[in-house]
A and B are shown apart, each in its own frame.
Chain A
Amino acid sequence: MKAAVIVFPGANCDRDCKTAIERSTGARVDMVWHGETALPAGLDLIVLPGGFAYGDYLRCGAMASLSPVMTEVRAAADRGVAVAGICNGFQVLCEARMLPGALLRNAGLRYVCEPVDLEVVNGQTRFTAGYQGRREVRMTVGHGEGNFFADEATLERLEGEGQVVFRYRKNPNGSARDIAGIVNDRGNVIGLMPHPDRAFEPELGSADGAVFFQSVLASA
């Protein structure tokens, strides 16, 4: 099992992700600078971590989505490699159009930082199969722009195709249909605002995030 975490300038959860994946799965995790034009061979998972890539300037995720390494991330996704964008990484995937929609400013205009209870809407994805039918998981969020937006037709398609993976029990940011995480139509690219990397041991308040990493690497 082998994973890579992409390091954008301004990312701040890159090492959290590395630690979370290593401790949850024992996988080897390489850190890959955003300016790289090649990825390590044989990757099973690529993580775009949380943070404030490029200072969130222009729009969050906009400039990161055009980083040199993203050409390779897109190519790897096209080959079927699992890609997970967490928080800022979700914003990057939307800006890269690897996932539909966009993340807007939270409806309450406040940065939210709190534990959230999530419904596992689709437990059949390679990121959620490890929950083995559990419908309730807990992680934490920390974001100012997590208000998922997409047009009605896109939302209908996401719901209809099982691409809504996580939903907030209590919506912290105004996101459409309480959406916390979505997957692409092929099922190998996921974006979620909650942080599995901040919920991988009971000491952190929840170990449910560990299952996320275990699922995707077990499916590799």
Chain B
Amino acid sequence: MLDVQGKAVEAALHGLGWPGVSNVRIGRVIEFEVAGADAAAAEAEVKAMCDKLLANTVIESYRAEVG
């Protein structure tokens, strides 16, 4: 899928003298705390949050880390 921000940043890096850079992709990091849950429960909750709101899997993939 076309990542237009990634393309623009890649062109800038080439212009700054790093011609070997390719496949620049820009994503985001979302950090938060979850109250009370143990790690396994939190992981299940976070996955549900990603599927419901945090990621749009039509255009994004995601990876969740608890800890």
**Is B4 close to A, CB under 8 A?**
yes
**Does B1 contact A149, Cβ atoms closer than 8 Å?**
yes
Separation in Å of the B55 CB from the closest CB of chain A? 9
A interface SS class: loop
**Does A147 contact B58, Cβ atoms closer than 8 Å?**
no
**Is B41 close to A, CB under 8 A?**
no
A53 to B8, CA, bound (A): 26
Q: How many interface residues does chain B have, given as a range? A: 10 to 19
In the complex, chain A residues whose CB is within 8 Å of the CB of B64? none
**Does A104 contact B2, Cβ atoms closer than 8 Å?**
yes
A216 to B19, CA, bound (A): 53
**Is A13 close to B, CB under 8 A?**
no
Q: How many interface residues does chain A have, given as a range? A: 20 to 34
In the complex, chain B residues whose CB is within 8 Å of the CB of A63? 53
A150 to B59, CA, bound (A): 8
- B46-67 vs A: 1/0 string, CB under 8 Å? 0000001110101100000000
**Is B22 close to A, CB under 8 A?**
no
Q: Which of B2, B52, B56 contacts A174 (CB 8 A)?
A: B2
**Does A147 contact B53, Cβ atoms closer than 8 Å?**
no
**Does B53 contact A101, Cβ atoms closer than 8 Å?**
no
Separation in Å of the A110 CB from the closest CB of chain B? 10
Find the A residue at minimum CB distance from B59.
A102
Separation in Å of the A146 CB from the closest CB of chain B? 12
**Is A24 close to B, CB under 8 A?**
no
**Does A58 contact B53, Cβ atoms closer than 8 Å?**
yes
A124 to B56, CA, bound (A): 31
Find the A residue at minimum CB distance from B52.
A66
A12 to B56, CA, bound (A): 24
**Does A62 contact B5, Cβ atoms closer than 8 Å?**
no
In the complex, chain A residues whose CB is within 8 Å of the CB of B59? 102, 104, 149
Find the A residue at minimum CB distance from B60.
A59
**Is A220 close to B, CB under 8 A?**
no
Separation in Å of the B8 CB from the closest CB of chain A? 6
Beyond A107-B2, A147-B4: 12 further Cβ-contacts under 8 Å? A58-B53, A94-B58, A101-B58, A104-B59, A105-B4, A106-B4, A107-B4, A109-B4, A109-B5, A147-B2, A149-B59, A150-B58
Residue contacts A-B, CB under 8 angstroms, 5 given: A58-B53, A58-B54, A62-B53, A66-B53, A147-B2
